[in-house]
Amino acid sequence: MLETILSLAIGMIVVALFLNVYRLIAGPSMPDRILALDTLYINSIAILILLGIYLESTLYFEAALLIAVMGFVGTVALSKYLLRGDIIE
């Protein structure tokens, strides 16, 4: 039962990832694209964790943690770029 729910959940998150990619490509302004990228990495954390449960492996947590840290840094750097025109002052 858990396996069917897990495959279903992974399917739902794949749909969510496609929606994010749509906003990333279509997004009329730059902040929209940054927001889409931010959501994309949070959703990819979710799919990695679900894959970890599915395969009963704890190996994926390091990857998820790294994506969380690097994604946050990327979002902050891009927003700073829009605010100031450069990243490092």
Partner 1 sequence: MFEIIIALLVANGAFFTLVGSIGLVKLPDFFTRLHGPTKATTLGVGSILVASSSFFFVAKDEISLHEVLITLFLFITAPISAHLMAKAAIHLKQNESTTQAKSYEK
End-to-end Cα separation, the chain, in angstroms: 54
Whose tokens are 């947590």? That residue is 61
Closer by beta carbon to partner 1, 76 or else 88: 76
Q: Where are the alpha helices (DSSP H) in 1-89?
A: 2-26, 30-55, 60-84
Residues in touch with partner 1 (CB under 8 A): 1-2, 5-6, 8-10, 12-13, 15-17, 19-20, 22-23, 29-32, 34-36, 38-39, 42-43, 45-46, 49-50, 52-53, 56, 58, 61-62, 64-65, 68-69, 72, 75-76, 79-80, 82-83
